[in-house]
Amino acid sequence: KALAVVTAAGWMRKEYYGDSNILFEHDICTSYVDAQLKAIFESSVVESYVDLLSPNLKGIPILARIGQEDRAVPPWQQRRMMRILHEGGSDVFWEEIPGKEHWWWDTERQSDGGCINDDNMRAFFSAVLHNQSHAVVDYSAGSTRTKNRKKNLKPPGNGILDEEKKFVASLPPAPEEFEMVVMNPASQGSRGGLRILQLHRPFAQGRISVKLLNETWVLTTRNIRRFAFEEIVSSSPRFHFFERDVIVDGVVFSRAHAQGSIEALVRSSQHLCSGRSSAKMWRSCRGDEMMSQRADERFPAEKGPDTYGPARLVAESPFFFVVGSHDDCEANERADCNCSLHRTSLSRLMMSGAVYLANLHHSAGDANPQILLDKQLGERQRSGSNLILIGSPRHNKMVHHFQ
């Protein structure tokens, strides 16, 4: 949920950032890897490709700026992104400052805030926070000191935003026609009162096209298995799904129907789901149909935003390492002394691995995860945290709990 977007010397994709991150460009493996396998590898990182997700920014004010002489970030990167946004109907203010290089300090006068805090930036922030028009200086046609371009620019008088003045900012209402694009439901939130929960084909583009047509919201989906509506605070009820009939791929949800309206769906914590095939037969579904454990025999466990991955999401909430306490070698050694006395036990290897990973998280992310044996894990830790299990079902009894 964003009031506005400001980008200064931005890249469209992390893989474009410098020579060392170009995906598969000079990797030795590219001479051997199958094209389909390579596509799977690339699909694991496409959720960070900003250009593929650009339709989500329609209706949100955007200020993009870069120095015309920038030699660290080629201006072409941001120009291309701005063209993509313009094509999609986004509201974009583009600034390419003549004579300025990468992240400059002085736009018009010494230490005036430069790239990230000059008059233009502060005026834009102030306008967004007070629901005003977004007047900015056009630097593209000449000197940065051209006064007539500044007549509509109104930065805060004291040079900073007045923290005591009450901000009246509200989320921009969704346009009458927009599109929501998702690569991974776990890493994206809602847009215009819609939240995609599940895709038919994971890590392939999922789309919901929305149009207000004859006072009815018409939704068309592609590669969407489940999605939910959310109640939003909008300046106009005209843009709310509760106030209009909704048609999803030809299936009508009438607001006049007490049980079948979108409002009733949201109040009962339900969502819309389609069949397992690509058939777009939408119906209301219970939230527990996507639980990590089976809700009942009719609803086998399915992945949702909490379990989609990637694996890093496990460490973005409180988590524990759970190490298996059963060791075949130690058990056999007690029974018949067949294990070598010099062989490192599996339980020690598993514990060493857990300590190594915990130290990595501590040094890289200032995390402090606990390490527990499977027999030490209580119900409180199990229900309130993510678990990283180390050991097979034979060695870690907690693995059985999640099978």
pLDDT tens-digit profile, the chain (403 residues) = 788 899 999 888 888 876 656 777 777 878 888 999 888 888 888 888 999 999 999 989 999 999 999 998 889 989 999 999 999 998 888 889 999 999 999 998 898 899 999 988 988 888 888 777 665 555 544 444 444 444 344 444 444 444 445 555 667 777 889 999 999 998 888 888 899 999 998 888 999 999 999 889 999 999 999 999 988 765 565 667 888 899 999 999 998 887 778 888 888 888 999 877 666 789 888 877 665 444 445 555 677 887 787 888 888 888 999 999 876 665 555 545 555 544 457 888 999 999 999 999 999 888 889 999 988 888 777 777 889 999 988 888 888 877 6
Residue 339, pLDDT score: 55
Written as one string, the DSSP assignment of 16-37 is GSSGGG-TTSS-GGGGTS-HHH
123 contact partners, CB below 8 Å, separation of at least 6: 135, 136, 153, 154, 155
- Cβ atoms of 183 and 45 within 8 Å: the answer is no
Compute the Cα dihedral for 380, 381, 386, 389 and give only its sign.
negative
The size of the chain, in residues, is: 403
d(CA 82, CA 90): 9
* Claim: this prediction has a pTM higher than 0.85: no
Structure-token pair, residue 220: 């068309």
Residue 159, pLDDT score: 44
Residue 154, pLDDT score: 47
d(CA 315, CA 304): 17
Structure-token pair, residue 348: 């020690």
357 contact partners, CB below 8 Å, separation of at least 6: 321, 388
Matching residue, tokens 């009450």: 166
Burial of 158 (0-12, 13-18, 19+ CB in 10 A): exposed
CB atoms within 10 A of CB 289: 21
Residue 239, pLDDT score: 64
Nearest in space to 17 (alpha carbons), one of 73, 71, 65? 73
CB atoms within 10 A of CB 21: 12
